[in-house]
Structure 1
Amino acid sequence: MNLFNHHFMDLSGARIYLERYRNQPFFIVNIATESRFVPQLKRLQQLHTQFSRHGLVIIAIPCNDFDEEPREEAQIDEFLRENYPSSFIVTQRYAVTGPEAHPLFREMLQEKGAAALPRGTFNKYLFDRRGELAEHFPPETLPDDPMLVRSINQQLGGV
């Protein structure tokens, strides 16, 4: 599995080729606007502000696998702009579990097993500069959790 072999569509419908970010670590979070964890988006933006200049790429992937994302792309975009303005990448809505899951998550299942897959919204995935999954964190782990920040720092080479 390699993250850089994948692409997503952003909320406006533009294709995001992850290959373009080769040699940069990634932090991916599956989100939902009706999740009890949605306030974490503010901390995710703070993480982006802190680390994007050092090369960290953050992608939020809306999903309705857990019945917490009733909105379509335009509504998701509006909700985020009004409530959680952000400058990190937000994709179109994708499945992250099951047969309709985005290919990245299907590959994670094949390579890392079911324990790596989301069991709810706001699961966090840290990929290294080679595009390999380095660590994953449960929804309860806040984006600014010291352990998570330490892991990001390691992937960035100790900034």
Structure 2
Amino acid sequence: MTVYQFAVEKRNGEKIPLSYFQGKALLIVNTASKCQFTYQFEQLQELYNKYYQQGFEIIGFPCNQFAEQEPNSSEGAAEFCRANYGVTFPMMGKIDVNGADEHPLFNYLKQKAPFRGFDETNMAEKLLKMKISSEYPQWLVGDSIKWNFTKFLIDKEGKVEKRFEPSEEPKTFEKEIEKLLKV
């Protein structure tokens, strides 16, 4: 099984199969416009600009499950990204990544790339763990998505390569993207 077996909704509600992106290295990320990690849109767009022509695609999924940090509609979330960060990569419809209404794609991603655990030496992760402990303790244990800007790197065959937690900035794993693209 690969990510190509899943279909997702565009901002307008139209279904699109992920097989549309077959043959490209993908980065799938759950996003929010009012998150402490929102600044990562800038780095994501830089990577997209740099590697798009070589077969790299980023797919953003707005999510409002974490402290209601994506209050906008799907269209509003995409417009925020475009206006504030120049985002040109595809932003899909809003999605749940955990819980009873989670999209099957994110269930699959979590199975294929489990949570690595919190790095207690990283202050951002330590603070995030404290926030999750107090507000969303059910997501503290196991492989659930811990917060916005959890990123999944997918190879050109649709297989999940690696999961990057919210505190891992996109520029820190550029070499892993290059490896998939053979740049």
TM over 0.5: yes
Aligned ranges for residues 82-121 of structure 1 at < 5 Å? 82-113=83-114, 116-121=143-148
Contact 2:4/2:18 (<8 A) preserved: yes
Shift of 1:54: 0.5
Contact 1:61/1:91 (<8 A) preserved: yes
Shift of 1:104: 0.8
CA distance 1:75–1:2, shift in 2 (3 Å) = same
Question: So what's the TM-score if we normalise by structure 2?
Answer: 0.78
Count of residue pairs the alignment pairs up? 156
Q: Does the alignment pair 1:152 with 2:153?
A: no
Contact 1:105/1:117 (<8 A) preserved: no
Unaligned runs of 5+ in 2: 117-142
Shift of 1:49: 0.3
Question: So what's the TM-score if we normalise by structure 1?
Answer: 0.89
- Residue by residue, what CA displacement relative to the aligned partner does 1:112-136 show, whole Å, maximum 9, x if unpaired? 5565542001011101112111011
**Corresponding position of 1:6:** 6
4+ residue segments displaced more than 6 Å: none
Q: Who wins on radius of gyration, i.e. which is larger? A: 2
**Corresponding position of 1:48:** 48
Which amino acid in the other structure matches residue 177 of structure 2? I
Q: Distance in 2 between matches of 1:144 and 1:110?
A: 25
Shift of 1:110: 4.2
Shift of 1:47: 0.5
RMSD: 1.7
Which amino acid in the other structure matches residue 136 of structure 1? R
Contact 1:60/1:89 (<8 A) preserved: yes
CA distance 1:114–1:124, shift in 2 (3 Å) = closer
Which amino acid in the other structure matches residue 119 of structure 1? K
Which amino acid in the other structure matches residue 124 of structure 1? K
The alignment-based identity, stated in percent, is 29
Unaligned runs of 5+ in 1: none
Shift of 1:111: 4.7
